[in-house]
Structure 1
Amino acid sequence: MTDPVIIVGGGISGVSCASTLAQLDPALPIKLISCSPTLKVITNVQEKGNYLTSFDVTEKPSDQLSQQYSNIEVISDTVISLDAAKKTIHLAKNNDQLKYSKLCICTGARPKLIDTNFPDHLIGIRDTSTVKDFEKRLLGASRVVVVGNGGIATELVYSIEFCQIIWAIKDSSFGSTFLDPGAAQFFTQYLKKEKRSKETIIKRIKYSQGAEPGTSNDDSGKYLQNLYGSALGPDWSDNIEMKGASKEMRSIEIEYNCEVNQIYFKKDLPLSKYQFIVFEEEVSQSGDLKWPIYVELNNGKIYGSDLIISATGVIPNVEPFLEGNNFKVGSDLGLSVNDQMLTTESDVYAAGDVCSADWQLAPHWFQMRLWTQARQMGIYSAYCITSHIQKTDPSLYFPFELFTHMTSFFGFKVVLLGLYLGQKLDSQYQILLRIKDGDEYVKVIMKDGHMQGALLIGETDLEETFENLIINQLDLTDIQDDLLNPTVDIEDYFD
């Protein structure tokens, strides 16, 4: 095989794929294409069970990967098109074209902005570059509107200081992507408090931020850089200064069950809507308006703001690869891949946020665009590529039997296992709860005496045992009432 394996994307999935390939076959020529001079590198991997892992994500100069693996060449460039029939990619610099034997697309996803007409006052957060932009903009902001209810939005609201925060969420409780209403209530006391000191946070996954990605004066370059920005890793907010311009430490107003209806510059806000502005009185003309931008929610309320943060999901970065090719695209706009990470184009794989799992999913697994799954997919893609080159079956390495994710919110370790919110079960399940205020929150999903999922907050030390119980589907009917009994050593019981 003369042509190299080419991997596009320097994020978690791309680097995991490249480094695993280099380990599996040190003689295999590999080219990694990254638009950023830094790469997202996984370090300090700790196995917490069969599938659950914790790890650090660090940003390192791209040449370090080539120094570590002699068969990897890192190219700082951007792919602008693909000819799958000719097995050729076209790069932005010097119109270079590269042929490949196999291609793995790991270009991630970009923020789904609620409106693109307010670039000076609206930002989406997805990668290191956008975080740095947000950090600068926040310095001059006394009030921000956060729109979204996922992990990034939740961490933002907890981390922003010296600023008034308006949090608009479409659900009846916050953090609903990861938390049930009970867990949200467990965390409510920390919303309006100062961020917990690092000394109180133990066993955290650390994320260290490296050099700032290069910038370009060319507008198209900026677009392409944002397009391929690598997703943030665990605890991305830990070393970021999120300080606004207010004299007060922080205040939070949450608007539940609502979405953004429209955004206005203050000069464009109709006079008839002034009466619906919250926190402003005696406003009769545009000159009286305090804020540069106004957000109208579909509950009728209007909030003025310096900055809007859009954290409402992502869009897979597939555009450069579609034209002239025959890719199947999933309902989430990702490149459809089968259970060996192959797209519908020959010898083209995809992994991480850019892909859409298009196989018969295991009962306790589902896709979410998380750094844990990006790493899993990148590693598994490498095994698939190597197996296909050697004409062997990669199914032995298939890692998608159980959904697992470890993160942190409000300074607490959070572990998600299986169907942790009862996904796929159509409300036909029972819930076991154990709550110790300010210490731990344990929720277990049971169906017909079998554990289906678990949400663990705090230092519960239950993750490995519960992972095994979900995987093995043991009948727990006789001991179900004691599963969360703090006086019973469950781990010892099953040993």
Structure 2
Amino acid sequence: MNYVIVGNGVSAIGAIEGIRQQDKDGKILVISDEAVPTYGRPLISYYLSDKIKFETLPFRSEEFYKSNNVEMRLASRVIGIDTSSKKLTLDSGDTVSYGKLLLATGGTPVKPPLPGIDGPGVHNFTTVAHAEALKELVDKVQKVVVIGAGLIALKAAEGFAEKGVDVTIVVRSRIMRTYFDETAGDLIVNHLEKNRIKFLQGCGTKEIVRFDDGTIKGVETDQGLVEADVVIVAAGVRPNMGLAAQAGITTGQGIRVNDYMATSDSDVFAAGDVAEAKDMLTGEYTVRPIWPNAYSQGRYAGINMAGADKPYSGGMSMNSITYYGLPTISVGETNVEGKDGYETSIYLDEKSSIYRKLIFKDDMLAGCILIGEIDAAGFYTSFIKNSFKLDAEAKARLIEGDPSPALWPDEFIEGMMNNP
């Protein structure tokens, strides 16, 4: 079989490993518009602040590609797919044939319709190329404004603040609202403010203001002008599904896939931030742009491209990150205010920046938010992922912060022992 993977993120790595699990000999070609092999995208803020070297960014070594007999075409963009002839057209004019195709094209930063956004001094922060461009500036600028409320915005801010730059984050509502509730968000903001990052929450952005020579003056908000030398736009990422749409493949929020990660064309698969795939907890099909889901989707796509016929169990909303020594994690359904059938339990120690919120539904743990103390996160996640039924004692133990594996059902433990 001739396998072609478009994109070179973590889902591509999962796909390579999945294919090789089933097919040791088929040809694998990876095509990426980036100039470097797969790297740890969450690490680019540490690269920006010189905490790590470029050599530590790769997600897999060169030997990985060699040992798996993978051909790479880097700095090469696919501009068209012809599903009838099963050929791709590249920006070089070359064509590439495929037997099975994986679209792992990720996402593109959203560009808000702001006056002044076009021109020098405005940057994104999702790729190592973006980080390289900003490394040229980080020691030359004094003030940076970051527009956005998500993980990318916070990590971009951290990268500059670590270098002593004055950083202000402008947030339309509140930070990380997809994963954290208001209490958790406030704890994170308070912690980051102690580490020299400023916040304007509930603040609308009106314009990126420039001097007569085109250089950045600042960002005009509904709370006044915030001066800046550089502006980072981190207002979200949109699934990069143009190739699929052009080829007549069904799209919605992302490229729609079935339980085997196949698209509406049975020879074309999709995985990662571009895929509209099954959610383990809700059963709905949606885009969940996080690393663990991307890798898992890629792996299932790979084994099914190679003929395994194994259904993907579904992804799960999850976020884990440490901000200046403050560990945080969010798993499952965490923003359920106003929804029927849910019960929440909260423990809060503001002085110590410790927060534990558990969300229950139908005698099961449906989600959790942990700030400060996260040692039990893996155990909480097991209860969420496996939908374990909880009796009164087990529920009380979870609420007390003791989600012991001793509370797992006997049949689950026996299954683990029989299938190590």
TM-score, scaled relative to structure 2: 0.81
Which shifted more, 109-118 or 367-376? Answer: 109-118
What residue is the counterpart of 1:150 in the other structure? Answer: 150
Please give the alpha-carbon distance, in whole angstroms, between the structure 1 residues aligned to 2:319 and 2:327. Answer: 11
Provide Cα deviations, 1:118-173, integer angstroms capped at 9, x if missing partner. Answer: 331211111111112123223322222111111121233344332322221121x3
Please give the alpha-carbon distance, in whole angstroms, between the structure 1 residues aligned to 2:295 and 2:394. Answer: 36
Shift in alpha-carbon separation, 1:170–1:304, aligned structure 2, 3 A:
same
What residue is the counterpart of 2:259 in the other structure? Answer: 339
What residue is the counterpart of 1:382 in the other structure? Answer: 302
The 3-state SS of whatever aligns with 1:342 is coil
Which of 98, 101, 115 is 2:99 aligned to?
Answer: 101
Displacement after TM superposition at 1:87 (Å): 0.2
Determine whether 1:311 maps to 2:234. Answer: yes
Shift in alpha-carbon separation, 1:421–1:364, aligned structure 2, 3 A:
farther
Please give the alpha-carbon distance, in whole angstroms, between the structure 2 residues aligned to 1:126 and 1:170. Answer: 20
Displacement after TM superposition at 1:385 (Å): 0.9
Shift in alpha-carbon separation, 1:316–1:100, aligned structure 2, 3 A:
same
How many residues align? The count is 386
Determine whether 1:353 maps to 2:353. Answer: no
Displacement after TM superposition at 1:267 (Å): 4.1
The 3-state SS of whatever aligns with 2:38 is strand
Please give the alpha-carbon distance, in whole angstroms, between the structure 2 residues aligned to 1:376 and 1:17. Answer: 9
Provide Cα deviations, 1:288-346, integer angstroms capped at 9, x if missing partner. Answer: xxx8333222x3522232111111111222334543x212221x3x2222222122234
Say what the alpha-carbon RMSD is for the aligned residues: 3.0
The 3-state SS of whatever aligns with 1:431 is strand
Provide Cα deviations, 1:57-104, integer angstroms capped at 9, x if missing partner. Answer: 84169853432113x2222332121111110011223x2211111110
Query: Equivalent residues in 2 for 1:50-449 (5 A)?
Result: 58-59=57-58, 64-70=63-69, 72-76=70-74, 77-93=76-92, 95-114=93-112, 115=114, 117-161=117-161, 162-171=164-173, 173-194=174-195, 250=196, 252=198, 254-267=199-212, 292-297=216-221, 299=222, 301-323=224-246, 325-330=247-252, 332=253, 334-357=254-277, 362-363=281-282, 367-387=287-307, 393-395=309-311, 398-400=312-314, 402-422=316-336, 426=339, 428-436=341-349, 437-438=351-352, 440-449=354-363
Shift in alpha-carbon separation, 1:186–1:491, aligned structure 2, 3 A:
farther
Displacement after TM superposition at 1:6 (Å): 0.7
What residue is the counterpart of 1:53 in the other structure? Answer: none
Shift in alpha-carbon separation, 1:256–1:434, aligned structure 2, 3 A:
same
Provide Cα deviations, 1:6-50, integer angstroms capped at 9, x if missing partner. Answer: 1111111112212321232111221111233432268xxxxxxxx
What residue is the counterpart of 2:31 in the other structure? Answer: 33
Aligned amino acid, residue 251 of structure 2 = V
Please give the alpha-carbon distance, in whole angstroms, between the structure 2 residues aligned to 1:490 and 1:321. Answer: 45
Please give the alpha-carbon distance, in whole angstroms, between the structure 2 residues aligned to 1:351 and 1:376. Answer: 9
Which of 348, 360, 376 is 1:462 aligned to?
Answer: 376
Shift in alpha-carbon separation, 1:426–1:265, aligned structure 2, 3 A:
same
The 3-state SS of whatever aligns with 2:369 is strand
The 3-state SS of whatever aligns with 1:416 is strand
Please give the alpha-carbon distance, in whole angstroms, between the structure 2 residues aligned to 1:59 and 1:480. Answer: 42
What residue is the counterpart of 2:416 in the other structure? Answer: none
Please give the alpha-carbon distance, in whole angstroms, between the structure 1 residues aligned to 2:325 and 2:57. Answer: 20
Please give the alpha-carbon distance, in whole angstroms, between the structure 2 residues aligned to 1:431 and 1:67. Answer: 50
Greater radius of gyration (CA): 1
Shift in alpha-carbon separation, 1:261–1:188, aligned structure 2, 3 A:
closer
Aligned amino acid, residue 306 of structure 2 = T
* Percent identity (aligned): 23
Aligned amino acid, residue 354 of structure 1 = V
The 3-state SS of whatever aligns with 1:377 is helix
**Is the CA contact 1:362–1:402 (under 8 Å) kept in the aligned structure 2?**
yes
Shift in alpha-carbon separation, 1:414–1:117, aligned structure 2, 3 A:
closer
Q: Structure 2 regions of 5+ residues with no counterpart?
A: 41-55, 410-420
Please give the alpha-carbon distance, in whole angstroms, between the structure 1 residues aligned to 2:106 and 2:358. Answer: 32
Aligned amino acid, residue 443 of structure 1 = K
